[in-house]
Amino acid sequence: MELRYKTPIFILSVCFLLFTSLAYALGTPPPKPEPNYIRVAIVQNARQLTLSIKGRYEIVSPHTNEVLIKGNSLRRAKVLPVRSGVKLNKYPFKIYAIKIKPERKAAIFLNRYRLRGDLELIRQKNGTLLAVNEIDIEDYLCGVLREEVSPHWPIAALKAQAVAARTFALYQNSVNRDKDYALDNTIYSQVYGGVKQETWRTNRAVRQTAGEVLTYNEKIFPAFFHATCGGHTEDASELWDINIPPLKGVSCPFCKRSPHYFWKAKIPFSQIKQKLNKKGYRIGRISRVSAIGRNKSERVEKIKISGDKEIIIGANKFRLIVGANLIRSANFKMAVKNKNLLVQGLGWGHGVGLCQWGAYFMARKGFNYRQILGYYYPGAKLTNEK
């Protein structure tokens, strides 16, 4: 599709002549956003993006905020990485990144996402594009909650999720301020779907907890969460270099009726071998897979794989390599039959922090969101950053 500007053509020409004077080195880090804004990677390693804007907008230089182009709307423009920078349809920007700033209520559409806030398109050193949404934390959470929990859940569970997600996002923002982005939109960070995933009930949970975060010793910590703990949440120090009371793990009698409490899987040895080889574990024939040790939450600590070679790997890392949707947690038992690994276990996710289905059933029993958060993050304090 053709790039449709309503800006007079002489402005475009002047802006185009300015591009070379605005050039700066590829890979220069972006300016730090204001504290209540976070940077979320929406698309990574893209060879091409499709961008539309409904309403007035500006395209600016990220470092200087100098306006490069103004327009009234943009329809299905192609964005490409080029050697000199970023190309929008036929217009090359000879800088490493451009920022799209919508005016008032203008809407940005990037591929399948509708976004609030600003959008930065960055040419990476590997010749691909990184799309980063710079957005107010409360608007961001409105696009997170429905991706993480059902909007039909009790409001107390939704509010607990909103506080946990806000705390996690602001913690990641604080430790990643010198990077291109603080979070991505995957299950390894927080799933974020933009405006299309907003609902009235989840937005209400965000508004009613606006600014509320969890702290320990007056510091924000990574308030992890997961789908179902399977009876006991995990001690974060078993997985990461984090050792604080709110993340030491608690007994959870609430999630037994979760649809993810019990699970089982049948995985061919050939599939395990393929996945391990892809991650750099050069292993030949597999004859046996066995568990080594269990921690206080009954999760397996390590996995030993025997055959032509023998390797030992952390149980949580093993399940992520093989497939987190197959081996849903590290709380499992195994058997070998006909070159297949038979696995059955409890819970879904790493198990640290808030058990989402536990929060659901606590809310059903009448617990409020403060009580839910206090149960899963013992010793944490609920404070308001605003």
Q: Tens-of-pLDDT digits for all 386 residues of the chain? A: 333 333 333 333 333 333 333 333 334 444 444 458 999 999 999 999 999 999 999 999 988 889 999 999 999 999 999 988 999 988 889 999 999 999 878 899 999 899 999 999 999 999 999 999 999 999 999 999 999 999 999 999 999 999 999 999 999 999 998 899 999 988 888 899 999 999 999 999 999 999 999 999 999 999 999 999 999 999 999 999 999 999 999 999 999 999 999 999 999 999 999 999 999 998 889 999 999 999 999 999 999 999 888 999 999 999 999 999 999 999 999 999 999 999 999 999 999 999 999 999 999 999 999 999 999 999 999 998 76
CA angle 282, 285, 286 (to 5 degrees): 95
CB neighbourhood size of 52 (10 A): 17
How many CB atoms within 10 Å of residue 36? 14
pLDDT given for residue 90 in this prediction = 84
Mark whether 38 and 128 lie in a shared domain.
yes
pLDDT of residue 386: 61
Do residue 29 and residue 178 come from a single domain?
A: no
The reply to whether 307 and 287 lie within a common domain is yes
* Gap between the Cα atoms of 82 and 127, Å rounded: 7
CB 7 within 8 A of CB 72: yes
Decide if 288 is inside a domain. yes
Does 159 lie in the same domain as 98? no
In a domain, 339, yes or no: yes
- Containing structural domain, residue 309: 262-346
CB 153 within 8 A of CB 363: yes
Same domain? For 128 and 159 the reply is no
- Residue 246's SS3 state is helix
For residues 359 and 291, state if they share a domain.
no
Could you give the C-alpha distances from 384 to 212, 246, 373, in angstroms and in order?
4, 18, 14
* 267, 212: one domain: no
Same domain for 48 and 93: yes
Beta-carbon count within 10 A of 285 CB = 12
* Total domain count, the chain: 3
CA angle 319, 240, 359 (to 5 degrees): 75
Chosen domain end from 138, 157, 172: 138
The string of DSSP letters for 298-361 reads S-EEEEEEEESS-EEEEHHHHHHHH-TTTS--S-EEEEEETTEEEEEEE-BS--BSEEHHHHHH
Residues 161, 217 within the same domain: yes
- Domain assignment present for 230: no
Is 235 inside any structural domain? no
Judge if 335 and 275 occupy the same domain. Answer: yes
Final residue belonging to a domain, choices 87, 105, 138: 138
Residue 200 in any domain: the answer is yes
Task: For residue 14, tell me if it sits in a domain.
Answer: yes
CA–CA dist 110, 258 (Å, integer): 35
Phi-psi label, residue 225: left if phi above 0, alpha if psi -120 to 50, beta otherwise: beta
- 109 Cβ partners below 8 Å, 6+ apart? 51, 52, 53, 54, 115
CB 289 within 8 A of CB 303: yes
Q: Read off the DSSP letter of residue 231.
A: S
What is the pLDDT, as a whole number, of residue 186?
A: 85
- Cα 167 to Cα 35, 141, 170, 210, 380: the distances in Å are 13, 11, 5, 11, 11
Same domain, 31 and 123: yes
Q: Are residues 92 and 159 in the same domain?
A: no
CA distance 72 to 70: 7
Q: Give a yes or no: residue 375 inside a domain.
A: yes
The amino acid sitting at 229 is C
Q: Pick from 138, 171, 186: which residue ends a domain?
A: 138
Give the number of C-alpha atoms closer than 13 A to the C-alpha of residue 176, restricted to the C-beta side: 19
**Residue 220 in 3-state DSSP?**
strand
Q: How far apart are CA 78 and CA 87, in angstroms?
A: 8
Q: Does residue 242 fall inside a structural domain?
A: no
